[in-house]
Structure 1
C-alpha cells in the first residue's frame, strides 16, 4: 500500500518520513458560466508504495499502534484539514473518518478495547474542496461490520479538531474469517488467517 504521515510538527500532514513520501498536486476548476462562479479546488495525493504483505507490516518500525477492530458504522462526513507549517507552506486536504471499534490492542498506548476510534481514509469532498488519493484504503473499503487489523500512526488531531488515526497498513478479513487481505493499494494480496496470526507474533 502507499503511506502518508499525518503529523503535528514541521513534517506536517503530507511529509517525508519512514522511507516514503506523499505529494499533493492542486488544481482549480473555474466554470465559465457566470451563475457558476464558485471555485472548486481539487487536490490529488500520491506517494511511494510500501509492500502490502503482513510480514512487511509486522516488521515496519513506524507502527505506533497495532490493533484488531471492527468497523462500527458507515463512513462519516468528510472533513477538511487546513494547517499552516512553520516553513510558511500550507497543508490542505480532505479525508473521510471511518468509525472502528477497538477489539484488541497488540501494540501501543492511548486506545483501549471497546473504544471507538476514527480512522482517516484519505479522500472525499467537503464544500468546494475535493481530494483524490491513491494513499491507503478508500472509505468504501471499510464496510460496516468488517473485521480489520490496522498498523497505524498515533491517534492525534491533524488540524481539524478531530482526533483520528492514520493507517500505515490495513488488513480486512473475509466473512468466514479464514482469509486476510490488504485494504488499499493497487494490488490485492491474500493470506490465510492462520499465517497472518503467526506473522503478528513477530510484531515489534
Structure 2
C-alpha cells in the first residue's frame, strides 16, 4: 500500500488589525518574573548568622550568666556585711580608747584633790589654795581636750556663745555687753560643750 506524504498544516492568516503607526510593540519572548530587583537576597533566602549580630545565645548560656550574676551579688552582700561589722568594731574600739584617754587626763586632778583633802585637817587655810590649784589644773585639762573655757565679762553678747539668764540696768556697762558670768562656757562653734550663762546690760 503506497504511503502518501503528510501535507503541512495550512497557515491561518492573522485577521487582527495592524498596530497603528507609532504604537509601542510589546517585547517578544518570556518576561522576567515580578518582584524586587537588585543585588539583595532572594525572598526565600534565610538570613545569615551576622544579620542579627550573631547566633542567639542558648538557654544554657543564659543559665550560666544568671548563676554568675547571682554569685557576684551574694559576694557583694557578704563583703558589705563584713565591712559593716568591721566598721562597728573599729568605732567601738575608738570610743573606748577616747574614753580611756579622757579619764587618764583627769587622774592628776583627782590626785591633787585627794592631797588637798588629806592636808585640810593640818592647815585649814591651805584647803582654799589647794582647791584653786586643782581647779586651774582641771580647766587646763579640758582646754587640752579641745574645749577652752569662756568666762569673760565686758564683751559683746554673742547668742552663739552666751545664754542670757538676766538683763540688768548698769550705767557703767555698755548696753548689750556681758556684765556677769554665772556659769562658764566651754568650747567653740561645733565643738561647744555648753554656752556661758550670763547677765547682759540692758539696752536703752
Task: Give TM-score scaled by structure 1 length.
Answer: 0.17
Indicate the structure with greater strand content. 1
Q: Which structure's relative contact order is higher, taking Cα pairs within 8 Å and 6+ residues apart?
A: 1
Task: Give TM-score scaled by structure 2 length.
Answer: 0.17
